[in-house]
Each structure stands twice: as structure tokens, then as C-alpha cells.
């Protein structure tokens, strides 16, 4: 074996502080606009942001925070949260973003499991902090992201973020950290069991930012005004605070109001060109824009992910409003980006219908993510768009174990995502289910996502979930659970007739149940486990006789 030849490049580890330092030095005038809790807009620049992030780093040093300690945030998308991202991680501590929509007991579990030493929180969460503090005795301090004048009345003794910063001068050199040291920590919401932590590294966060900014991903540049609707407490807002610093984009942060009207007004006022969020949020935005008969005057493209983007939503954005939808798939354990749906040159030459079909899928893997689908025997399945298999991934921003767990989840070096998918000849991924949500009828898999997508294309349907229901002959058959649009009506028979010609006959649900609302997780995903529980005793028509 020959001795490897080492390159002769500067030894500069990839640190997240470099993203902010770059933005401040080379695109320092680019703005960060935030809707504050008080409702007004706060404006400053990437240059200001770096200064204050450095003040925060100094404040952490003054509080005696050591490298590697976890500093948690309970906060909306706002400028102080961006400062925490960079001030905490840039200092060498770990910025642990917590989802404030989880139950109090779950948050207490997460804070204790992560061993957070300080918690930075938006004042909207004052009551939550009062409920949490007695359950989290190891937390050394609770820091309200506000000034003394706006400190809420609380039982818990708290520090003011602005007071801590005001005591520092911002004259601080970012330390050079080992790029494999921890940068961020995010717990998966998990529909079963305790939440599990995904601990990222500086290297993984910076590489992910490069990947996210690429043209076939977010395609970010200095000309973009970027509004992440996806919360900064959920997988680092899909890496947008990092990718926009790297690209020198303007950043627009919506705060706590994520209703259609608030988002639309902010998008228009700040000339937003790019946005990202889960389908539920876009439902509200599209409803509002339709109601007021408006158009998007600056929005060019949006990433939709987190759960499957219904084709009807994609069509509305593209055809009615001329906004490009980039359907994306990823997960907390992969920082989160994995695949994105963008056509290559050759695909843009195909007939419109073929293009549309491709864009509805979750797309092709970006550089940094390798994927395969495997069958029950563990063998890789063909990329024919037909074979369903368990989706496995690997890459430099995919975790190889959960925080504080020794057991490796990897299978032959690959991370099993828990998703079931097909991959077609174009290399386009199509997520058909979570493996635990799969419906197996007579030994064959039915894609609950495909069945749901047909239902939500019906004008009377606001939301739909397809779950497995026990069946004596076929083991399982699909049951469709539907929430109707306000004032709209459709019968079970009409809805089932709507499926004719849209999916294979045996995929058509055996029954429809109408409900007022569907259960969601804290990150807006359907809680199918809960729904299956709710409909455990549901009797499908014909099930007794054994006919499907
Ligand atoms: P989380 O870690 O909370 O972001 O959840 C990740 C999971 O959300 C994935 O494993 C998928 O099950 C689901 N998911 C994310 N994006 C999509 C998508 N575009 N289509 C379908 N499911 C998705």
C-alpha cells in the first residue's frame, strides 16, 4: 500500500462562527428584519448581529459557561435567536433549540436529558418557564430575551438578556474550535417514546449550509430576501440562518404570528423572494391570499417539506401565483436536508404532465447525502419507481447515534430513516409512508400519502389522513379520515367516486370518517398513532363478510 500524500492547505477548521464573520465582513449591510413579540419590526444588519453575538459569547464567559455546555433556547424566529445560534455555538458551547410547543413534561425531560445550564427564552414563554423551572433544578439561570423594562412578572428569578449584553463590549475573537466539536442540539418530536437528541457538529452545520445554499437546493444569493417560516426550534429552521449568512441574503424573521395574513403582509413589505415551511402553514397563507384576491409581488420560490406537499398545493402555487415550489425531504437526524425536487435540463424538455409528476416527488439527493431503498431482506431495491423499500441514508450531516445513547442505530453504516419510499429511474425519491404508518393490504403496500393527496385535491376537503384498519380477509384496508372545509360538504360516496381513475382500484379507501380536526404533533405532522387508536374499533363496511 502506498503512503497517502497529504495536501498543503491552511489548517482552518469549519466553524459556524465563520459564516457570521463572513456575512458581517463581506455583506455587512445586508439586513435582518424581525417581527418582535410586541408586534413592531426590528431592523439591523449582519454586521450588527455579529457584534451582539460576540457580546453574548462574552456574557457566557462571564457567567462561567464552559465549552461544550448546553445552552437552550425557547424562542420564535427573531434576531436575538440568531444571535444565540452564533453567540452560543461560536463561543464553543452547544446551542440547544427546544420546541416550546411540546408538553411541559416533555420539555422538562429534554432539558434534564441535555443537561442544559442556561435557558434563553422569549417572554411569551414566561408561564411555561415558571412551570418548567421547578422540574429543572440543574438549570443555573433562565435568561429572558428582552430588556429590563419588558421583563415579565414571574415566580422564577430571571436574568435580562439585554442587561447581560450591555455589560460586554463586543471586542471578542471567535475561538478556533475543533470542527468535530458539537454546535447544535435538537430533539426529535417523536410520536412514541421519549424525544431523542440529534447533536450536530460545526463541520456538519457548515457543510449543510453550503449544500442548502446551492442552486438545486435553496439557491440563495445576495439578491434574496429570505423568510424562514419553519421555526428556528425545529432542525435549525432547515439551516436557513446558516445558509443565508453564507450567501449574504437578507433575512426576514416572522416571530410568533404565523397566520396567513401576518405572513403575507411581511412577505410583501420586505420583498421576500424565498421562503420555507411545512404544508400546514402554506394552507393558511394560500387561504388568506385567495380570500383577499391578492398575488405575491416578490415571492419567487418556496421549499415545502416536513410532510408531503399535496400536489394540489403545488399546482396552486405554481399555476395561480407563479411561485416555484421545491418539494423537499429530510429529517432532524440529517440536519435536515436530504432531497429536493428540481428538474435538470433534460427533464425540462419533457411534456408538462411528466414534469409535474416529477416535481410532486421529494426529488433527488443533494451532494452530501447518499440514499438507497432496501427490502425486508436488507438488499438494495431497484430504482424503478415501483419497488417500495425502507429508506437508508448516509453522509457527513447524518447522525451516527443519538445524543447520550451508546447504541448505534446504523445498519451496515447507513442510517435507517423509518420512511418507506420508491426511487425512480431519474433518481427521484418518493416517500410513500413512515414505516409504522404503512398500510399492508393482502401483503401489498398502499401509500397512505398518495391516498391522502387525492382526497385533499377535492374542493370540499381541508385535510385528510389515511390509516390502516383491521380487515379479516386483507389484514388491513385503508380508512380515510377527513376534515371538511368550512361551509363545504361532500358525501362518503362522492368522495370515494372521486378516486376512480386516480389510484389503483384496490388503493381506494374502504370507508370515510368525517371529523372536526385531526391530531398533530408539535411540529405539525399528523399523529397517525393517535388516530389509529381513535379508530381502533372502527368497522369497515363489508369487513364482517370478508370482502374488500
Ligand atoms: P422531523 O425530523 O420532525 O423533521 O421529521 C422527519 C420526517 O418527516 C421524515 O422522516 C418523514 O417521515 C417526514 N417528512 C419530511 N419531509 C417530508 C416530505 N417532503 N414528504 C413526506 N414526508 C416528509
Residues linked to residue 116 through DSSP beta bridges, in sequence order: 70
- List, in order, residues 6 or more apart from 376 with CB less than 8 Å away: none
d(CA 318, CA 314) in angstroms, rounded, equals 6
Residue nearest ligand 1's atom 21 by CA: 308
d(CA 147, CA 4) in angstroms, rounded, equals 56
pLDDT in tens, 161-183: 999 999 999 999 999 999 999 99
d(CA 398, CA 400) in angstroms, rounded, equals 7
Q: Which residue among 208, 281, 331, 390 has the greatest number of ligand 1 atoms within 8 angstroms of its CB, and so is best to mutate?
A: 331
Asked if 102 contacts 195 with a C-beta cutoff of 8 angstroms, the reply is yes
> How much distance in Å is there from the Cα of 400 to the middle of ligand 1?
18
Q: Does the CB atom of residue 235 touch ligand 1 within 6 A?
A: yes
Asked if 35 contacts 270 with a C-beta cutoff of 8 angstroms, the reply is no
pLDDT in tens, 199-235: 999 999 999 999 999 999 999 999 999 999 999 999 9
Q: State the sign of the Cα–Cα–Cα–Cα dihedral 529, 531, 532, 533.
A: positive
Q: Does the CB atom of residue 336 touch ligand 1 within 6 A?
A: yes
Instruction: List the grid coordinates of 476.
Output: 388491513
> In 3D, which of 419, 423, 314, 427 has the Cα closest to residue 364?
427
Q: Does the CB atom of residue 453 touch ligand 1 within 6 A?
A: no
> Is 436 among the catalytic positions?
no
Q: Does the CB atom of residue 260 touch ligand 1 within 6 A?
A: no
> Is 517 among the catalytic positions?
no
Q: Which of 436, 440, 473, 539 is catalytic?
A: 440
* Terminal Cα distance for the chain, rounded: 63
Q: What pLDDT shows up at residue 209?
A: 98
> How much distance in Å is there from the Cα of 329 to the middle of ligand 1?
6
Q: 3-state SS of 472-491?
A: CCCEEEEEEEEEECCCCCCC
> Is 333 among the catalytic positions?
yes
Q: Does the CB atom of residue 437 touch ligand 1 within 6 A?
A: no
> How much distance in Å is there from the Cα of 306 to the middle of ligand 1?
4
Q: What pLDDT shows up at residue 548?
A: 35
Alpha helices in 75-149 (DSSP H): 79-91, 104-114, 126-132
Q: What pLDDT shows up at residue 192?
A: 56
- List, in order, residues 6 or more apart from 296 with CB less than 8 Å away: 267, 268, 289, 321, 322, 323
Q: Does the CB atom of residue 331 touch ligand 1 within 6 A?
A: yes
Q: What pLDDT shows up at residue 330?
A: 97
pTM over 0.85: yes
Instruction: List the grid coordinates of 233.
Output: 426550534
Asked if 239 contacts 262 with a C-beta cutoff of 8 angstroms, the reply is no
Instruction: List the grid coordinates of 246.
Output: 453564507
CA angle 69, 71, 75 (to 5 degrees): 165
Q: How many CA atoms lie within 13 A of 177 on its CB side?
A: 26
Domains within the chain, CATH numbers bracketed: 16-32+44-362 (3.40.50.12780), 437-534 (3.30.300.30)
- DSSP 8-class letter at 319: I
Residues linked to residue 423 through DSSP beta bridges, in sequence order: 429
Asked if 483 contacts 458 with a C-beta cutoff of 8 angstroms, the reply is no
Q: Does the CB atom of residue 196 touch ligand 1 within 6 A?
A: no
Which contiguous run of DSSP H or E holds residue 94?
Answer: strand 94-97
d(CA 535, CA 507) in angstroms, rounded, equals 19
- List, in order, residues 6 or more apart from 319 with CB less than 8 Å away: none
How long a stretch of residues is the chain? 548
| CA 417 to ligand 1: nearest atom | 10
Q: Does the CB atom of residue 338 touch ligand 1 within 6 A?
A: no
Instruction: List the grid coordinates of 100.
Output: 416550546
Residues linked to residue 391 through DSSP beta bridges, in sequence order: 373
Q: Which of 45, 124, 300, 445 is catalytic?
A: 445
Strand order from edge to edge, sheet including 429-434: 370-374, 389-394, 415-423, 429-434
Q: What pLDDT shows up at residue 193?
A: 67
> How much distance in Å is there from the Cα of 220 to the middle of ligand 1?
22
Q: Does the CB atom of residue 329 touch ligand 1 within 6 A?
A: yes
Q: What pLDDT shows up at residue 445?
A: 79
Pair type for strands 225-228 and 250-253: parallel
> How much distance in Å is there from the Cα of 148 to the middle of ligand 1?
40
Crossing angle of helices 79-91/46-62, nearest 10°?
50
> Is 280 among the catalytic positions?
no
Asked if 40 contacts 195 with a C-beta cutoff of 8 angstroms, the reply is no
Per-residue pLDDT of the chain (548 residues; tens, 9 = 90+): 688 899 999 999 999 999 999 999 999 999 999 999 989 999 999 999 999 999 999 999 999 999 999 999 999 999 999 999 999 999 999 999 999 988 898 899 999 999 999 999 999 999 999 999 999 999 999 999 999 999 999 999 999 999 999 999 999 999 999 999 999 999 986 555 678 999 999 999 999 999 999 999 999 999 999 999 999 999 999 999 999 999 999 999 999 999 999 999 999 999 999 999 988 889 899 999 999 999 999 999 999 998 889 999 999 999 999 999 999 999 999 999 999 999 999 999 999 999 999 999 999 999 999 999 999 899 999 999 999 899 999 999 999 999 999 999 999 999 999 999 999 999 999 999 888 787 888 777 788 888 999 999 999 999 999 999 988 888 889 999 999 999 999 999 999 999 998 888 889 999 999 999 999 887 778 888 889 989 999 999 877 543 33
Q: What pLDDT shows up at residue 446?
A: 86
Asked if 139 contacts 103 with a C-beta cutoff of 8 angstroms, the reply is no
Amino acid at each position: 500500500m502506498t503512503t497517502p500524500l497529504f495536501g498543503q492547505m491552511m489548517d482552518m477548521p469549519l466553524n459556524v462562527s465563520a459564516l457570521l464573520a463572513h456575512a458581517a465582513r463581506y455583506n455587512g449591510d445586508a439586513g435582518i428584519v424581525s417581527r418582535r413579540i410586541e408586534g413592531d419590526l426590528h431592523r439591523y444588519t449582519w454586521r450588527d448581529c455579529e457584534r451582539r453575538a460576540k457580546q453574548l459569547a462574552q456574557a457566557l464567559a462571564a457567567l462561567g459557561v464552559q465549552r461544550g455546555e448546553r445552552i437552550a433556547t425557547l424562542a420564535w424566529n427573531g434576531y436575538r435567536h440568531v444571535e444565540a445560534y452564533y453567540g452560543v455555538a461560536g463561543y464553543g458551547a452547544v446551542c440547544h433549540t427546544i420546541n416550546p410547543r411540546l408538553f411541559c413534561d416533555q420539555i422538562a425531560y429534554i432539558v434534564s436529558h441535555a443537561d442544559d445550564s442556561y435557558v434563553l427564552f422569549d417572554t411569551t414563554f414566561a408561564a411555561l418557564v415558571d412551570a418548567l423551572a421547578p422540574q429543572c433544578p440543574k438549570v443555573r439561570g433562565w435568561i429572558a430575551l428582552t430588556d429590563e423594562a419588558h421583563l415579565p412578572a414571574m415566580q422564577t428569578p430571571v436574568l435580562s438578556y439585554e442587561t447581560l449584553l450591555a455589560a460586554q463590549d463586543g471586542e471578542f475573537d471567535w475561538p478556533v474550535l475543533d470542527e468535530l466539536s458539537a454546535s447544535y442540539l435538537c430533539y426529535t418530536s417523536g410520536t412514541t417514546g421519549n424525544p431523542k437528541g440529534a447533536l450536530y457538529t460545526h463541520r456538519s452545520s457548515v457543510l449543510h449550509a453550503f449544500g442548502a445554499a446551492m442552486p438545486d437546493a435553496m439557491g440563495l444569493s445576495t439578491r434574496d430576501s429570505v423568510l424562514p417560516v419553519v421555526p428556528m426550534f425545529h432542525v435549525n429552521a432547515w439551516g436557513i440562518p446558516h445558509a443565508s449568512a453564507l450567501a449574504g441574503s437578507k433575512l426576514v424573521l416572522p416571530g410568533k404570528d404565523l397566520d396567513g395574513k401576518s405572513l403575507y403582509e411581511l412577505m410583501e413589505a420586505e420583498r421576500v423572494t424565498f421562503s420555507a415551511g411545512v404544508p400546514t402553514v402554506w394552507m393558511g397563507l394560500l387561504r388568506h391570499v385567495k380570500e383577499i384576491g391578492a398575488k405575491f409581488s416578490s415571492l419567487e420560490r418556496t421549499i415545502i417539506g416536513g410532510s408531503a406537499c399535496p400536489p394540489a398545493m403545488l399546482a396552486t402555487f405554481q399555476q395561480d401565483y407563479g411561485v416555484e415550489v421545491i418539494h423537499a425531504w429530510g429529517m432532524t437526524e440529517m440536519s435536515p436536508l436530504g432531497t429536493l425536487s428540481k428538474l435538470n435540463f433534460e427533464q425540462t424538455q419533457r411534456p408538462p404532465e411528466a414534469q409535474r409528476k416529477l416535481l410532486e416527488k421529494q426529488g433527488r439527493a443533494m451532494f452530501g447525502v447518499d440514499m438507497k431503498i432496501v427490502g425486508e431482506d436488507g438488499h438494495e431495491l431497484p430504482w424503478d419507481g415501483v419497488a417500495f423499500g425502507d429508506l437508508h441514508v448516509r453522509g457527513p450531516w447524518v447522525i451516527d447515534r443519538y445524543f447520550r445513547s451508546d447504541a448505534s442505530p446504523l445498519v451496515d453504516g447507513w442510517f435507517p430513516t423509518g420512511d418507506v419510499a420508491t426511487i425512480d429511474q431519474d433518481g427521484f425519491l418518493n416517500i410513500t409512508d413512515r414505516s409504522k404508518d404503512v398500510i399492508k393490504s393482502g401483503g401489498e403496500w398502499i401509500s397512505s400519502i398518495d391516498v391522502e393527496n387525492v382526497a385533499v385535491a377535492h374542493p370540499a376537503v381541508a385535510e385528510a389522513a389515511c390509516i390502516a384498519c383491521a380487515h379479516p380477509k386483507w389484514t388491513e384496508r385503508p380508512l380515510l379520515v377527513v376534515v371538511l372545509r368550512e361551509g363545504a360538504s361532500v358525501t362518503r360516496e362522492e368522495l370515494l367516486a372521486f378516486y376512480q381513475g386516480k389510484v389503483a382500484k384496490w388503493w381506494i379507501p374502504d370507508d370515510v370518517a368525517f371529523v372536526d380536526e385531526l391530531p398533530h404533533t408539535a411540529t405539525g405532522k399528523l399523529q397517525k398513532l393517535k388516530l389509529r387508536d381513535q379508530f381502533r374499533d372502527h368497522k369497515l363496511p363489508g369487513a364482517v363478510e370478508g370482502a374488500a
